[in-house]
A and B are shown apart, each in its own frame.
Chain A
Amino acid sequence: MGNAFTTRDLRKVYGEGPAAVHALRGVDLEIPEGEIVVLLGPSGSGKSTLLNILGGLDRATDGQVFFRDSELSAMSDAELTRYRRDHVGFVFQFYNLMPSLTAQENVELVTEIARNPLSPEEALALVGLEARADHFPAQLSGGEQQRVAIARAVAKQPDVLFCDEPTGALDSVTGRAVLHVLRDVNRKLGATVMIVTHAAAQAAIAHRVIRFADGAVQSVTVNETPASPEEIEW
């Protein structure tokens, strides 16, 4: 299988002049399709920035990034929107559900515009929340909200799934459940899953672990035998 992502000397600078923040300082990466990839690194090291650029949410200041054979860094805003719509799923640290929509409607928000979506019921069943379909976010716990967010992200059967600290706000039990769902999605849908975390222990479930520090890749480790979420320490 080919690479899902390839980056060449990727750089990102926020602001200008003396106040400029160099969030990415030349990132070169190759991420094969169908893997679970964990991005590890201290807070402020540029993990979210990289994820945003790979996900087509943001643009690099310099360098190139490819999704399969298409160059994301050369795309127009409309093309990036198309890319996100057709290929990408997101799970955010703060869930980011629409407070005025029920769990099911939050999922429909995505299935509505996707090409080949799961039904919202299927997606919710995947995260074990079919019983809470008609609840509003304010009526769900944090873990449940995050599982809705995952259902929403996987419902479109994305080629890549980006998860920015998906367990950051969760306790160990719900955190493990969330990781479990992510691994199932990788197995059942064949999606490339990229998980950002600063908890090193979670790296055990990955096929590939990228260590990140100060805006640059420190090391890439390939893990031939990923552990199951139940085995990891929290």
Chain B
Amino acid sequence: MSPLTRKLLRDLWRIKGQAIAIGAVIAVGVLMLVMMTGLVASLEETRRAYYERYRLADVFAPVTRAPGHRAEDLGRLPGVAAVETRITGAALIDLGRDRLPIQARAVSLPDLRAPRLNAIHLTDGRMLQGGRNDEVVVLNSFARAVGLHPGDRLTATMNGFRRELRIVGLAQAPEFLYTTPPGELVPDDARFAVLWLNQSALEAVFDMEGAFNEALLSLTRDARRAEVIAAADRLLDRHGGLGAYPLHDLGSNRFISEEINGLKTSTAIVPPVFLAVAAFLLHIVISRMVQAEREQIGLLKAFGYTDWEVGGHYFRMILTIATGGALAGCVLGIVAGRAMVDLYLYFYKFPFLVFRLDPSSFLTGFVVSILSASAGGALVLRRVFALTPAVAMRPPAPPDYSRSGRFRGLAARFLDQPTRMVLRRLTRQPLRMAGAVVGIASGIALSAAMASILDSFDEMMDLTFGVMDRSDMSVTFTQPIEARSVLDLAAIDGVIEVEPVRMVPAILRHGRDSYRGAIHGLRAEPRLYRAVDKAQRPLYLRGDGITLSRGLANELGVRAGQVLTLEVREGRRPRVDIPVIAVAETLLGSPAYMELDALNRALKEPLRVSGAYLRVDPARADRIHARLKDMPMVAGVSLKAQARASLARVMDQGAGGTRYVMALIAAVITFGVIYNAARVAQAERARDLASLRVLGFTRAEVAYVLLGELAVVTLLALPLGGLMGWGLSFVISRGYSTDIYQIPPLFSAESYGWAMLVVLLAALVSGALVKRDIDRADLVAALKTRE
């Protein structure tokens, strides 16, 4: 082994604490990169495989009632590979025992054969027997959530018929990975069910003998999807086509895509932050080492080592730390990825999981960590090159403090010597001090931004469930009914306030952009469910246009004053052009609002409502539930508290859940940066401090010289870090926002206070650790080694 390699190893051993800390930061960055890209790759691959294996359709074409032979016409369309037709409809499940009725979707399966498209995966029990009209297969996740098993019975009301059904099996299906109750935005296993019944059973219930109300199409590889959809719409139009839509608009698929996108965003943000921090720390540590080893560098050069040989020595140190970190990160990334397989299976509800490690992520991890470490090191190499060999010949020169002020007059009288040492050092090397300030400020910024993101999630909940929706529950009717009927609801004992709503499914188009959603028809001045502006003031809904949520306006690229096309997907399915009159602030979903009467006029269905928001006396909530359950017009009831809870659950799992980990990591990084700053300052001054001790200064005085510096740097970093954190929270909040919910950037004084408290605590702990070392320092050794 060459002596330079030995020196490298011994030096690494000497700074092992710092080397491990930096390596660990790199390792965590690479770990996240490997694990998260692996997760994204696995999810995408699993989704693809799942969809393929269970023949999920490429196009869904709902229709009011089409004769069965239309299926052959659809099959003849160019680009269509296979067609399946089925019957689906709304169902209401009664679980008895004072429980709220649960909304469900009934879906038909062919009696005597496997479905050509949209097959299901049986997890428990058996499949339906042909011709048995009282058998049902239930969505596995729902059954688990409410405690149903094969052999149990349940009562379902479909199209006004009450049916006693026997559960023969539980199943999963790729089209129902996530199930969202109608009128809500957030999936909830326990509050929405899917029931698979024999086609013959549903034909009878929904009056669909020889007919279907949903066609499923799979496409050939070279098919043009938009053209197939247009052709299908033309074919089905006279049977009440409700608008064919592609797989990527399917609710469940959209939700998974959002999850995957959220993970991708985190993957793009989190690992780079770690690697940047690591590069910064490496730069500080190695440049400090080069500074301390000036004479050794000069000496090597004097012996005839070239600049590159000497620079290479320090560079190898950087590479060793970076490679070690990257290697550990890759290994841990694989281990962590493997360990998470079961978790994914459970959380993402796939029947199987194709675990994929993206091999390019190893390469990316390695290359990126080595590049970023090298960036930190490159600046140092310049210093190595600039050193002349003659420095080795000179006796160690005292650092030049001549430009740092002399403290005359008043200052001289009030500043004791140790304080002067602190101030001189701060002013003598302003760049180095600025570096330390920026480093600590970055730590504060990261912590503060992450802390305020946690608040942003709460803010999103409060705006949605406190300011906008002030009801206690919402009721959905089986079909649009006369507005007067809501009076029946108001008459229930304990209902304080009722507000009608008309929800209409529609496609909104503007230019090339379109969005499938629903329009909320509300009173002009709603009290329970409101649209609000930026200042959270309720918007008055004028009758001459439509109000869009900010997210929807952005997606369609429209501003107030522009005109949209509205294609209603219900009843007479009118198509109307309508001006946008205002943009509302919402953080959940992408709703559109219209004044109720204006909406009904556009639909040519005056005085109709499809549901109502209720404010109730909480003490009488149970009796109200019971009454609602008995009303035939009520299709479903959802409690705001439950909706809120399911949103909280969704945000805590999946991509949103990483916010806690990120916040923790931010705190750890902050601590690392501060601790490193303290260690560097200590190492740079070990000799001075030992000399002071020899001169008779007490330990406390010596510690003051060092820690005073740390204190000043930390205090300077606090305001800067706050400012940087504010900027950072815009980036991070965008990263956490999804199609389903938006996370607003917030400036919450409290979280900034917390972040600063964390920083001060980190500074105190680091200070204490360093002071302990100063107290223990071997004076003779410190003076003998030249640093």
Residues of A within 8 A of B (CB): 48, 51-52, 55-58, 77-78, 81-86, 88, 90, 92-94, 96, 98-101, 105-106, 108-110, 112-113, 138, 164
Contacts and interface: CB of A to CB of B under 8 A. Distances in A.
B393 A100 contact: no
Contacts of A78: 306
Given A55-B302, A105-B6, A113-B305, A96 B389 contact: no
Given A78-B306, A138-B785, A98 B393 contact: no
Contact of B304 (A85, A94, A100, A105): A85
Given A84-B303, A92-B299, 7 more contacts: A48-B394, A83-B304, A99-B785, A100-B11, A101-B7, A105-B3, A113-B304
Given A52-B393, A98-B299, A57 B388 contact: yes
Interface in B748-787: 781, 784-786
A109 B3 contact: yes
B105 interface: no
Interface string B382-425: 00000011101111100000000000000000000000000000
B7 A98 contact: yes
Contacts of A108: 2-3
A82 B309 CA distance: 13
B295 A96 contact: yes
B393 A51 contact: yes
B10 interface: yes
Contacts of B534: none
B296 interface: yes
Name the residue in B303, B307, B388, B394 with the highest tally of chain A Cβ atoms < 10 Å from its Cβ.
B303
Nearest to B389: A57
A48 B393 contact: yes
A57 B391 CA distance: 9
Q: Is the interface of B mostly helix, strand, loop or mixed?
A: helix
A86 B305 CA distance: 11
Contacts of A82: 304
Interface in B114-141: none
B328 interface: no
B304 A164 contact: no
Interface residues of B, number: 32
B300 interface: yes
A112 B3 contact: yes
A108 B3 CA distance: 6
6 contacts: A57-B302, A82-B304, A84-B302, A90-B393, A100-B7, A112-B3
B512 interface: no
Contacts of A98: 3, 7, 296, 299
B133 to A, nearest CB: 86
B784 A138 contact: yes
B6 to A, nearest CB: 6
Contacts of B300: 109
A197 to B, nearest CB: 15
Interface in B1-19: 2-4, 6-7, 10-11, 14
Q: Which of A56, A83, A92 has the most CB of B within 10 A?
A: A92
Given A57-B393, A109-B303, A112-B3, A101 B388 contact: no
B306 A109 contact: no
A133 B785 CA distance: 19
Nearest to A83: B304
Interface of B: 2-4, 6-7, 10-11, 14, 295-296, 299-307, 309, 388-390, 392-396, 781, 784-786
Contact of B14 (A77, A90, A100, A112): A100
Contacts of B307: 77, 81
B3 A101 contact: yes
Contacts of B306: 78, 81
A112 to B, nearest CB: 6
Given A86-B304, A101-B6, A109-B4, A93 B785 contact: no
A96 B392 CA distance: 7
Nearest to B6: A105
A62 B393 CA distance: 21
Contacts of A100: 6-7, 10-11, 14
A58 B303 contact: no
A102 to B, nearest CB: 8
Given A84-B302, A88-B304, A101-B3, A57 B295 contact: no
Contact of A92 (B304, B388, B393, B785): B393
Nearest to B10: A100
B288 to A, nearest CB: 16
Contacts of A51: 393
A52 B298 CA distance: 12
B346 to A, nearest CB: 52
A168 to B, nearest CB: 10
Contact of A138 (B6, B303, B392, B781): B781
A100 B305 CA distance: 18
A96 B395 contact: no
A138 B780 CA distance: 10
B303 A113 contact: yes
Given A57-B390, A92-B393, A109-B3, A101 B10 contact: yes
Contacts of A88: 304
A94 B6 CA distance: 23
Nearest to A85: B304
A52 B309 CA distance: 21
Contacts of A56: 389
Nearest to A164: B393
A72 to B, nearest CB: 13
Contact of B390 (A52, A93, A105, A109): A52
Nearest to A138: B784
Contacts of B786: 94, 99
A73 B302 CA distance: 16
Contacts of A106: 3
A100 B301 CA distance: 17
B400 to A, nearest CB: 13
Contacts of B295: 96
A94 to B, nearest CB: 6
A110 B3 CA distance: 9
A78 B308 CA distance: 11
B505 to A, nearest CB: 75
A96 B293 CA distance: 11
Nearest to B391: A57
Contact of A84 (B4, B7, B389): B389
A51 B302 CA distance: 12
Contacts of A77: 307
Contacts of B304: 81-86, 88, 113
Nearest to B8: A100
Nearest to A111: B3
Nearest to A107: B3
Nearest to B305: A113
A112 B392 CA distance: 20
Nearest to B14: A100
Contacts of B396: 94
Contacts of A105: 3, 6-7
A18 B224 CA distance: 83
Nearest to B396: A94
4 residue pairs, one from A and one from B, having the closest CB atoms = A85-B304, A84-B304, A100-B10, A57-B389
B299 A96 contact: yes
A86 B304 CA distance: 8
Nearest to B295: A96
Task: Please indicate which of the listed interface residues A52, A85, A98 has the most CB atoms of chain B within 10 Å of its own CB.
Answer: A98
A164 to B, nearest CB: 6
A48 B393 CA distance: 8
Nearest to A153: B303
B508 to A, nearest CB: 71
Contacts of A112: 2-4
